[in-house]
Structure 1
Amino acid sequence: MAGLAPAIHAVEHASMKGGWVYIVTNKPNGIPYTGVTADLARRIHQHRTGVHEGFTKQYGLKRFVHYEFHDDIVAAVQCEKNIKHWSRAWKARMIVEFNESWRDLYEDLA
């Protein structure tokens, strides 16, 4: 029976689609929050409207400043976990390389 688990996992993995890793903050060089989602526009809208209780709502993290797409959601989740372990300074450098003025990219989603 143990041999069936990898085959089941492979079938589930094959049906998965890509995902987005994103960063929201409260201001330039502010508190960064890294997340992952399959529906970027919906998730950023949720952060902006404060639909869910939690860290981003508590600290007013609504400025959408960075994103990257991964063809595989598993890769996106791993990237999110990696970024969450980086220092704030490293995250800030990554954001500046992508979005030098820390402009809110929310309008670009429309």
Structure 2
Amino acid sequence: MYYVYILTNLSNKVLYTGITNNLERRLYEHKHKLIKGFTEKYNVNKLIYFDSTTDVKSAIAREKQIKGWTRRKKVELIESVNPLWKDLSEDFKN
């Protein structure tokens, strides 16, 4: 499986879009600041949206599509499935 996901820090709702083949591992890396760069700098570690596919090319295309959207369109996507911006990773077993 391949996952396209959106993270935020919830305090000022910075958005980060990424792709992975292991969502739980990737979130662990973000939450423990094992990934240097944007997500570490802005404390972006709350999962607010994700989608999955078995096709890596589709996942890459979807990531690029979302990254090209305006913030407003990204917010509409998030709120269509997660209107309260709940951290969806809280449902994962650690």
Distance 2:35 2:62 in 1: 23
CA deviations 1:30-72 (Å, max 9, x no partner) are 1110000000000011111100110011011011100000120
Tell me whether 1:43 sits opposite 2:34 in the alignment.
no
Given that 1:28 and 1:102 are in contact with CA atoms closer than 8 Å, whether structure 2 keeps it comes out as no
Distance 1:43 1:57 in 2: 13
Distance 2:32 2:51 in 1: 22
Question: Computing the radius of gyration over CA atoms, which structure comes out larger, 1 or 2?
Answer: 1
Bigger fraction of residues in strand: 2
TM-score, length-scaled by structure 2:
0.93
Q: Unaligned stretches of 5+ in structure 2?
A: none
Counterpart residue number, 2:74: 91
Letter paired with 1:108: D
Given that 1:29 and 1:92 are in contact with CA atoms closer than 8 Å, whether structure 2 keeps it comes out as no
Given that 1:24 and 1:62 are in contact with CA atoms closer than 8 Å, whether structure 2 keeps it comes out as yes
What is the Cα-based RMSD across aligned positions, in Å? 1.2
Q: How many percent identity over aligned positions?
A: 37
TM-score, length-scaled by structure 1:
0.80
Moved over 4 A (4+): none
Distance 1:83 1:20 in 2: 13
Distance 2:11 2:56 in 1: 28
Letter paired with 1:75: S
